[in-house]
């Protein structure tokens, strides 16, 4: 499978969308990643969700802090390289004890072609954990629904930052010969 083949047959983005919808998520902040393409489209198509394209991932951390202050729930979508852009902004989440739900698609760890993805991919989980974020990693598509459900509950019920990492094996290889 390649990320370019994220078609109607790929059900896990729809499963994520359904869980987010059910949880009452209304703000979706993202920097695009091919692995999030289908989910981003579904969120944009939903009139009850506001999907906001960011210039850098840390914007989303601050935005969702504001959302919670105003009584709204959000989710932040990014690829693993974006985690490095968030670190200092995450101090606000810890200090104010705010919920933050992040979904991170992994690059640079499994079947990668682009060597520039390797440094951040290799330190994504540790960087998040060092910044106080609880990390749950999924290796198989069939575990995604349950995991995003658990992450969402943990984040908003306990007001903690929680990230679900979707491992590259789930997302598939990027086709460089297109």
Partner 1 sequence: MAAKKPAGLDRRKVVAALLADRGDALVVTGLGSPTYDTYAAGDHDLNFYLWGAMGGAVMAGLGLALAQPKRRVLVITGDGEMLMGIGSLATVACEAPKNLAIAVIDNGHYGETGMQRAHTARGVDLAGIAKAAGFKSATTISTMPAVQAWLPAWQKKAGPVFADIKVAATPAPMRLPLRDGTAIKHRFRSALLGADAIK
Interacting residue with partner 1 among 1, 11, 87, 92 (CB under 8 A): 92
Running DSSP on this structure, what letter comes out for residue 117? Answer: G
Q: Decide: 132 and 93 in contact? Cβ < 8 Å.
A: yes
Q: Which residues contact 23 (CB under 8 A, 6 or more apart)?
A: 73, 152, 153, 156
At residue 125, what are phi and psi to the nearest 5 degrees?
-65, -45
Q: In this chain, which stretch among 95-103, 113-121, 131-139, 142-150 interacts with partner 1, using CB under 8 A?
A: 95-103
By CB under 8 A, name the one of 70, 157, 177, 178 that touches partner 1: 70
Q: How far is residue 22's CA from residue 48's CA, in Å, rounded to a whole number?
A: 12
**Does residue 153 belong to the site contacting partner 1 (CB under 8 A)?**
no
Q: Does 26 bind partner 1 (CB under 8 A)?
A: yes
In the complex with partner 1, which residue's Cβ is closer, 5 or 56? 56
Binding residues (CB under 8 A) for partner 1: these are: 26-27, 50, 52-56, 58-72, 74, 88-89, 91-92, 95-98
């Amino acid at each position: 499978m390649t990320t370019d083949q994220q078609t109607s047959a790929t059900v896990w983005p729809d499963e994520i969308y359904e869980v987010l919808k059910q949880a009452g998520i209304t703000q979706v902040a993202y920097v695009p990643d091919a692995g999030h393409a289908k989910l981003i489209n579904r969120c944009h198509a939903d009139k009850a969700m506001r999907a906001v394209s960011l210039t850098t991932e840390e914007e989303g951390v601050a935005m969702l802090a504001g959302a919670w202050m105003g009584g709204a729930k959000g989710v932040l979508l990014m690829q693993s390289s974006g985690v490095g852009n968030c670190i200092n902004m995450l101090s606000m989440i810890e200090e104010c004890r705010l919920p933050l739900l992040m979904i991170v698609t992994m690059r640079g760890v499994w079947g990668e072609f682009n060597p520039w993805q390797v440094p951040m991919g290799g330190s994504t989980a540790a960087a998040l954990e060092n910044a106080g974020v609880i990390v749950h990693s999924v290796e198989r598509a069939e575990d995604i629904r349950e995991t995003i459900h658990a992450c969402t509950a943990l984040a908003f019920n306990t007001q903690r930052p929680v990230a679900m990492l979707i491992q590259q094996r789930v997302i598939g290889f990027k086709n460089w010969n297109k």
